[in-house]
Amino acid sequence: MTKTVIALAADHAGFPLKEVLGDELRVLGYEPLDLGTHGLDSVDYPDFGHAAALAVLEGRAALGVICCGTGIGISMAANKHRGIRAALCHDATTARLAREHNDANILALGARIVGTEVARDCLRAFLATPFGGGRHESRVAKIDHVRTKEAVR
């Protein structure tokens, strides 16, 4: 049986949390695709947000998890890619609703904002929750229309 691959990327501030979440993914039965960074030396968060977005878009990973100090910058970088809906989450409820209502395909976390246990809770909720569809489908479609520069109706 093939394990589901989850892209995992972080800058230097998010590196320690990335390592914890990689271990958690393995415990949960997933295969992390570690896109870096691999240490505490200063790097640029957009490089890692872009790498995770491309891994998801190219089908190398089913979903992604990204971390930087606040989660803001790396999620902004990932969200520049059409088809990516990176959600910056601060607790299990926002992670669950990001998947259920917004069909988020990347979880973004701020390593200096949320603690390790909260981050694990977010990860578990994100991975366990499917997109709810229904009334949410038209709203997600409107997000994608803006991305493609089509008029929002």
Question: What whole-number distance in Å separates Cα of residue 30 and Cα of residue 5?
Answer: 6
Side chain identity, residue 137 = E
- State the alpha helices, DSSP H only, in the chain: 15-27, 45-57, 72-78, 92-102, 116-128, 135-147
Is residue 101 flagged as an active site residue? yes
Residue 68 designated active-site:
yes
Catalytic residue among 68, 81, 89, 122: 68
Beginning with the edge strand found earlier in the chain, give each strand of the sheet holding 31-34 in spatial order.
31-34, 5-10, 63-68, 106-110, 86-88
Burial of residue 16 (CB within 10 Å: 0-12, 13-18, 19+) is: middle
**Active site amino acids:** 68, 101
